[in-house]
Structure formats: structure tokens, C-alpha cells
Homo-oligomer: A and B are copies of this chain.
Amino acid sequence: MRWWGWGDPAHSSALPSHAMEFLRETVGIAARPRPPVALEQVRLAPPELSERAVTALRGIVGAEGVRDDHGERVAHAAGKGYPDLVRLRAGVPEGAPDAVLRPAGHEQLRAVLQECARSSVAVVPWGGGTSVVGGVAPLRGEHAAVVALDMGRMGEVLELDRQSRTVTVQAGIRAVALERALAASGLTLGHFPQSYEYVSLGGCAATRSAGQASSGYGRIEQMVLGLRFVAPAGEIDLAAVPASAAGPELRRLLVGSEGTLGVISELSLRVRAAPLERVYEGVFFADFAAGVETLRELAQQRACPEVARLSDQAETRMSLALAGERGIKGRLGRTYLGLRGYREGCLAILGFEGKSSEIASRRKRALALARRGGGLAVGRSPGEAWLRSRFSAPYLRDELLTQGVMVETLETATQWSNVQALHRAVSAAIAESLSAGGTPGLVMCHVSHLYETGASLYFTFLARQREGEELEQWRAVKQAASRAIVSGGGTITHHHAVGRDHAPWIEDEVGREGVAVLRALKAELDPAGIMNPGKLLP
């Protein structure tokens, strides 16, 4: 993974000329490209882990399991949020772990936490390092040092129970590696966040992630049946029972704890038959309202495809513009360019996965509902285009940053009766904040992740960077959007988690007494307060 951005360094992300043109005309780009500095130019303070602690930790995880060289520290200096990348590309991360630890199993993990508690060393659990909310920022709180606890050496599949359709894994396993292992048995987990190519399952569980196909496969917390959790104060093993009434659901307390209570060591996950076929297609709606109503019908009539997402007008226009001439050929092109009533329309992607025979009947039912809601099926090319590029937006972000364009995403969820009002309120708050800062931008949104009672709203916005004030610019928009979300009845995050960036709003979410409960949990499981300081709690 590129230390200053996303993904495979070999992956080219240069923008095509029509896209550059579009950006120049809409938000403006920098006078000259702004590439990242070289790795050796990144400025870090010298590591501060005491000799005693280093020796003790080497005794636990071996010399190869404790690294403090420049490259390792930079690679673990931040997650992949916009402010992270702004700082990294400029060579001035806000800090770095004093060392990177890689335990090779459950017992080593437990011993590491005990040693860190003893030595007052803060611990930042590290899966794929893809947090976009500051969830892996190397904050030390009141401790003398901070380490990144990289779970990369705990990536085994421990047990596959084909009959029960469950798999037990070490929490450091990458989603890609797990899918590969499951595919050999004709199974899938079905968890595909945009960060899929890099995430670990432990990270997904710790942050209550939802994959792009969550409308069909569910959220990670619906997949996690059992877990083995290591906290400084002790361990909690919860067996993988399908359901229980044995008191408060501790599983759902540990899932979502974002490394602030301890570390997930092992997970038992529900898996499903791998789909034999995938059909992804486009449906065009005359306006956003009609599309939202159709998605609601799909969810409430239990006719939901595995993937269902509806771009608003701005996002539809933007994606067609970025796709260029080639992208809007065929039925979609004729529709978009030609038909009265759809010129300012909204594109939905519906993706069905399963056995061919079942897909056929499910598609028929869903498309009938879409037609009844005014939708116009425009064939498979938009769906297939989406499927091909579903994990590539973070590459695009790197290129936009090089061109001096800020791009950021944020998300929420709300009940169906509030989807449109919240869409308007948050879009307006973002647009106004950008304009007020002198960099009017593009604000777009899609509805995705459908539930019977509501859905998520995922906002993307672009604006020209205010050079030298990138973080202030970002912070103003983030605050405006978050205020609009909490005052508009949305959750502060649907699947990005709280991390550091949303921590100021967690009290709006769960109240003063809810925060007190979270603190009481932390006091019990992490009395020394070493676990991921500065995250989750305000």
C-alpha cells in the first residue's frame, strides 16, 4: 500500500483529459500538480519507547515482531482519511507510533497488552490501516509512548464449519484472503466495503463496517457470531451461538469498540453460498424522490437486491461526466441524452447475486416494483461499470489531491420518512460551508445500504483546496455536515465508525449517560487507559 495514499503503487490513477476538463470548469484545480514528498522527507520525532519496554516486547513477539525503522513508522503513522493524506503528502504527519508490534498469535497478543499496560504504553490496534475517521491516529494520550499493534501475523483460517456455515478466523485476516479461502469451498462472507482490498476482518468488526452489498449480506455485526476478545483486564470469549437471550448482548458491545476496550483476537463469522451469478444493472428515475420511494418499496416488500444504490442528480451528472462519451453510450446514453423527463434524472444500480433461477425471479419482481415507481431499466452497462470500479474511488482521490482538489466523503443513516429532508439539509450545509470558505464545490450523494425502516446517505464533495489551509478548510465542512446530521435526525456514522473525527458528536448520539456507560466499560476493561486513546469517547 502507498504510504501517502491508496493501494497498489503500480496502479495508475491519472485522470482522463475530459475529467480534467470537467474539474477545471467546475471546482478548479491547482496551478501546478502537488505530488507527495519522498518517503525520506517525512519528518518524525525519534522513537520514545524505553529500552526496557523494547526488550520486554521483543521477548514476547521476537525481534522481527518489533520494528521502529522509518518506513514502518511512516506506514503506520495515519489511516486513510482526507486529513491523514494531506498531512502525509506534505511530509508532516501529526506523529507516528514509536514502534510497530506484530504478535504472532493469541498468547503473544495477550502478553503484549499486559506489558503495555505495565509500561504505560498506548496501543493502537491496526488491521488494514484504512480508517477514514482517524481511528488509527497514533495518539498516546497521557502515556509515554505509543505503539501500533499490527495484526498482520494473525491471519489464519482456524475452522470452517460447512454444515453451520460459519468460519472461525484470526482477526488479522484480510477480507481478500478470507474470500479466497472460502471460495475454495463455494462460500463467501459477502463483506465488500470500498476498502475491501486492504481491510482485515478484525478491523471491520471493531468499526461496525457495512459492505457495499450489505442490503443483501448484512452488516458485519450481523455476521459476527462469536469472538475472542483480549483486553488489558482480561479476556472475553463468546461462543458462536446463532442467537441467545442470555442478558445484554456483549458481542455487540465488543463489535464497534474501535480498539478502545481491547483487541479482537479471533472471530466466528456467518458465511453463505457463493453466488453462481451476478447481475448488476441500471435503472433511471426522473428525480431523486421517485428513486428513494422505489428503494423503500424494495426494502419493505423484501425484494431487495444484494446491492441497491441511488445517486442523486448531482452524483448522476458527475459520474456520467467522468465516464465521458464512452460511458454514456447505448441505452443509458439515449435515455440520458434523449428522453424528456430523464434529463436531470437519477441513476440507480441494482445488483443481484445468487443462483441463476432465483436471480431471475427476484429481478423480475424488483424491476416490476421499479417500473411501477417510474424507473426506466437501462441495461447492464452502468451496473457492470460500477462493479468494475467499485474499489477504485480511493485511487481517484489520490489523483485529485495531486491536482489540488479536496475530495471527501461522509455518511449517515435515517428512517425513510426523513431521507429526503436529511439529504437536503446535509447537502446544503456542505455546499454553504464550502462557499463560505471561498471554494464553492460539488456536493453529491447516494442512498445505499437499505433497511426496512430506512437507509444510509453517502455524501461526496469536491472543492479546490485552499493551499496551506487544507485542514482548516476540511474541518469547517466536517463540522457543518456533522451538525446538520445530528440536528437532522441522522446517525453520526452509518459505517465509517467514530474514530477521532466523529468523537465530538458521540454524545449527541448516545447522550450524556450513554457516554458514562462507555466510560464505565473502558474503566473495567482497560483501567490504565492504554487502548487507542482519543478515539470514540469525546
By a beta-carbon cutoff of 8 Å, the part of chain A in contact with chain B is 161, 163-166, 207-210, 219, 221, 225, 231, 233-258, 261, 270, 272-273, 296, 300, 361, 413-418, 449, 451-456, 489-498, 502, 506, 509-514, 516-518, 520-521, 523-525, 536
Judge whether A520 and B520 touch: CB under 8 Å.
Answer: yes
Query: Known contacts A361-B361, A516-B233; is A242 also within 8 Å of B414 by CB?
Result: yes
Pick the residue among B161, B243, B456 that contacts A413 (CB under 8 A).
B243
The docked-state distance in angstroms from the alpha carbon of A489 to that of B502 is 39
Judge whether A415 and B166 touch: CB under 8 Å.
Answer: yes
Known: A247-B258, A248-B257, A253-B517. 5 other contacts (CB 8 A): A234-B512, A239-B489, A246-B509, A247-B506, A361-B361
The docked-state distance in angstroms from the alpha carbon of A208 to that of B209 is 24
Judge whether B452 and A165 touch: CB under 8 Å.
Answer: yes
The docked-state distance in angstroms from the alpha carbon of A452 to that of B249 is 19
Judge whether A413 and B244 touch: CB under 8 Å.
Answer: yes
Contacts of A161 in B (CB 8 A): 415, 417
Pick the residue among B208, B243, B417 that contacts A456 (CB under 8 A).
B243
Judge whether B254 and A417 touch: CB under 8 Å.
Answer: no
Judge whether B249 and A514 touch: CB under 8 Å.
Answer: no
For residue A484, give the distance in angstroms from its CB to the closest CB of chain B: 15
The docked-state distance in angstroms from the alpha carbon of A253 to that of B254 is 11
For residue A440, give the distance in angstroms from its CB to the closest CB of chain B: 30
Chain B residue nearest to A225 (CB atoms) is: B453
**For the complex formed by this chain, how many copies does it contain in all?**
2
For residue A146, give the distance in angstroms from its CB to the closest CB of chain B: 21
Chain B residue nearest to A516 (CB atoms) is: B524
Judge whether A248 and B521 touch: CB under 8 Å.
Answer: yes
Max chain B Cβ within 10 angstroms of own Cβ: one of A234, A252, A516: A252
Query: Known contacts A244-B493, A415-B240; is A516 also within 8 Å of B234 by CB?
Result: yes
Judge whether B300 and A514 touch: CB under 8 Å.
Answer: no
Judge whether B242 and A415 touch: CB under 8 Å.
Answer: yes
The docked-state distance in angstroms from the alpha carbon of A164 to that of B243 is 26
For residue A259, give the distance in angstroms from its CB to the closest CB of chain B: 11
12 intermolecular pairs with C-beta atoms under 8 Å apart: A165-B452, A166-B415, A208-B245, A210-B245, A225-B453, A239-B489, A241-B413, A243-B413, A243-B494, A245-B256, A246-B506, A520-B520
Pick the residue among B165, B453, B506 that contacts A164 (CB under 8 A).
B453
Contacts of A417 in B (CB 8 A): 161, 163-164
Judge whether A416 and B250 touch: CB under 8 Å.
Answer: no
Contacts of A250 in B (CB 8 A): 510, 514, 517-518
Chain B residue nearest to A355 (CB atoms) is: B301
Judge whether A415 and B164 touch: CB under 8 Å.
Answer: yes
Pick the residue among B241, B494, B521 that contacts A244 (CB under 8 A).
B494
Contacts of A536 in B (CB 8 A): 247
For residue A495, give the distance in angstroms from its CB to the closest CB of chain B: 5
Contacts of A273 in B (CB 8 A): 300
The docked-state distance in angstroms from the alpha carbon of A108 to that of B418 is 31
Pick the residue among B247, B255, B296, B514 that contacts A518 (CB under 8 A).
B247
The docked-state distance in angstroms from the alpha carbon of A456 to that of B208 is 26
Contacts of A208 in B (CB 8 A): 244-247, 249
Judge whether B509 and A244 touch: CB under 8 Å.
Answer: yes
Pick the residue among B225, B245, B493, B511 that contacts A497 (CB under 8 A).
B245
Query: Known contacts A253-B517, A524-B520; is A453 also within 8 Å of B166 by CB?
Result: yes
For residue A96, give the distance in angstroms from its CB to the closest CB of chain B: 26
The docked-state distance in angstroms from the alpha carbon of A258 to that of B249 is 12
The docked-state distance in angstroms from the alpha carbon of A451 to that of B164 is 10
Chain B residue nearest to A455 (CB atoms) is: B242
Query: Known contacts A252-B253, A272-B452, A453-B164; is A246 also within 8 Å of B491 by CB?
Result: yes
